A and B are shown apart, each in its own frame.
Chain A
Amino acid sequence: MAYDKFTVLRDTAVPLPTENVDTDQIIPARFLKATERTGFGDNLFRDWRYDVEGNPKKDFVLNDPTYSGKILVAGKNFGSGSSREHAVWALYDYGFRCVVSSFFADIFKNNCLNIGVLPVTVSPEFADKLFAAIEADPKTEIEVNLPEQKITLLSTGEFETFDINEYKKSNMQNGFDDIDYLLNMSDEIEAFAASR
Chain B
Amino acid sequence: MEKTTLFDKIWDSHVVRHVPAGPDVFFIDKHFIHEVTSPVAFLNLEKRGIGVKYPHRTIATPDHNVPTVDQDQTIKDKLSRMQVEKLRENCKKYGIELHDLGTAHHGIVHVIGPELGVTQPGMTIVCGDSHTSTHGAFGAIAFGIGTSEVEMVLATQCIMQSKPKKMRISVEGELGKGVTSKDIILYIISKISAAGATGYFVEYAGSAIQSLSMEARMTICNMSIEMGARGGLIAPDETTFNYLKWRQYAPKGEDWEKAVAFWKSLKTDEGAVFDKEYHFDAADIEPMITYGTNPGMGIKVKDRIPTAEGLEGSNKASFLKSLDYMGFEPGEPVKGKQVDYVFVGSCTNGRIEDIRAVAEFVKGKKKAENITAWIVPGSREVEKMAHEEGLVKILEEAGFELRQPGCSACLAMNDDKIPAGKYAVSTSNRNFEGRQGPGARTMLASPLTVAAVAVTGRITDPREVFEN
Interface residues of A, Cβ cutoff 8 Å to B: 1, 17-20, 22, 24-25, 28-30, 32-37, 47, 52, 75-77, 80-86, 88, 103-107, 110-111, 114-115, 128, 165-168, 177-179, 181-183, 185-186, 188-189, 192-193, 196
Contact = CB atoms under 8 A, between A and B. Distances in A.
Given A33-B79, A83-B144, 10 more contacts: A18-B314, A24-B434, A47-B433, A80-B195, A83-B129, A88-B146, A107-B144, A168-B22, A193-B27, A196-B27
B432 A33 contact: no
B149 interface: yes
B430 A24 contact: yes
Given A24-B433, A30-B412, A178 B152 contact: yes
Contacts of B16: 185, 188-189, 192
Interface residues of B, number: 74
A105 B227 CA distance: 10
B146 A114 contact: yes
20 contacts: A18-B321, A20-B195, A20-B294, A22-B430, A24-B435, A80-B194, A106-B164, A107-B144, A107-B146, A110-B145, A115-B148, A166-B21, A178-B159, A178-B160, A179-B155, A182-B25, A189-B16, A189-B156, A192-B16, A196-B27
B119 interface: no
Contacts of A34: 39, 79
B37 interface: yes
Contacts of A192: 16, 27
Contacts of A104: 198
Nearest to B156: A182
B152 A32 contact: no
A106 B199 contact: yes
B240 interface: no
A35 B44 CA distance: 11
Contact of A110 (B149, B313, B314, B317): B149
A103 B43 contact: no
Contacts of B17: 185, 188
Given A35-B40, A35-B86, A193-B157, A105 B195 contact: yes
Contacts of A81: 130, 225, 430, 432
Contacts of B129: 82-83
A175 to B, nearest CB: 14
A82 B130 contact: yes
B151 interface: yes
Contact of B43 (A29, A32, A35, A110): A35
A53 to B, nearest CB: 12
Given A17-B314, A29-B412, A166-B21, A181 B160 contact: yes
B147 interface: yes
B148 A83 contact: no
B308 interface: no
Given A28-B438, A114-B149, A167-B22, A189 B157 contact: yes
A47 B432 CA distance: 12
B148 A33 contact: no
Nearest to B160: A178
B136 to A, nearest CB: 15
B152 A179 contact: yes
Nearest to A104: B198
B433 A35 contact: no
Contacts of B373: none
B297 to A, nearest CB: 9
Contacts of B48: 1, 179
A35 B225 CA distance: 26
B156 A22 contact: no
Nearest to B43: A36
A181 B19 CA distance: 10
B413 A167 contact: no
Contacts of A47: 433-434, 438-439
B318 interface: yes
Contacts of A193: 27, 54, 157
A25 B314 contact: no
Interface in B320-365: 321
Contacts of B146: 83-85, 88, 107, 110-111, 114
B130 A83 contact: yes
Interface string B145-177: 111110110011111111010000000000000
Contacts of B80: 33
Contact of B228 (A19, A25, A77): A77
Interface in B28-50: 29, 36-37, 39-40, 43-44, 47-48, 50
Contacts of B439: 47, 52
B413 A30 contact: yes
Contacts of A29: 64, 411-413, 435
A53 B335 CA distance: 34
B23 interface: yes
Nearest to B407: A29
A117 to B, nearest CB: 12
Contact of B158 (A24, A37, A128, A182): A182
B318 A20 contact: yes
Interface string B5-30: 00000000000110111110101010
A189 B294 contact: no
A52 B438 contact: yes
A189 B293 CA distance: 43
